[in-house]
Amino acid sequence: MSNTNNAIILVARILLSFMFIYAGFGKLTDPAGTAGMIAGAGLPASSALAYLAGTFEFVTGLAVLVGYQTKIVGWLLAAFCAFTAIVFHLPTVNVPDFPAAALGWINALNQIMVMKNFTLAGAYIFLAIVGPGLYSLDARRGVYAVA
C-alpha cells in the first residue's frame, strides 16, 4: 500500500474517531441526557448504561484514532451503530403536549440519524476489513500486514 493511501487511511481514522471520542466524553461528564434516552427506550439501569455507553464510545474512539485492535473495534462499532439506529432513532418520537411541527422536525432528524448510523456501520466494517494502515499501533505490532 502506498504512503499516500496509508496517509488517507489515517485521515479517515481520525475522522471516524472524533465523533465517538467527543460523544463518549460528553456522556461520561454529563450522562443525564443519554440516561433519559435509554429510559425512554424502555431499557433498565439507564444511568449505568449511559456510563457504559460513554466508556465504550470514548475507548473505542481512541482505539480507532491510534489504530489499535482495529478489526475488533471496527466490528464492535458497526454493531453499536446499527443497534443505536434501531433502538433509539428508528422509533417515532411522540411527546405529549409537544407542538406537531416540533415533533415532525424531531422525527425527520431521527431518520437522518438512522441513515448516519447505518452509513457509519458500513465505514467501520470497511475499516475492520481494510485495516488501520501503516500509521497505526496495529501495524507497529505486526497485526496487519502492510505492503
Q: Where are the domains of the chain?
A: 3-141
Percent above pLDDT 90 for the chain: 72
Predicted pLDDT at 45: 95
For the stretch 27-46, pLDDT in tens is: 999 999 999 888 888 899 99
114 confidence band (pLDDT: 50, 70, 90):
very high
Predicted pLDDT at 115: 97
Mean pLDDT confidence for 71-96:
90
Look up residue 30 and give its amino acid. D
Predicted pLDDT at 145: 60
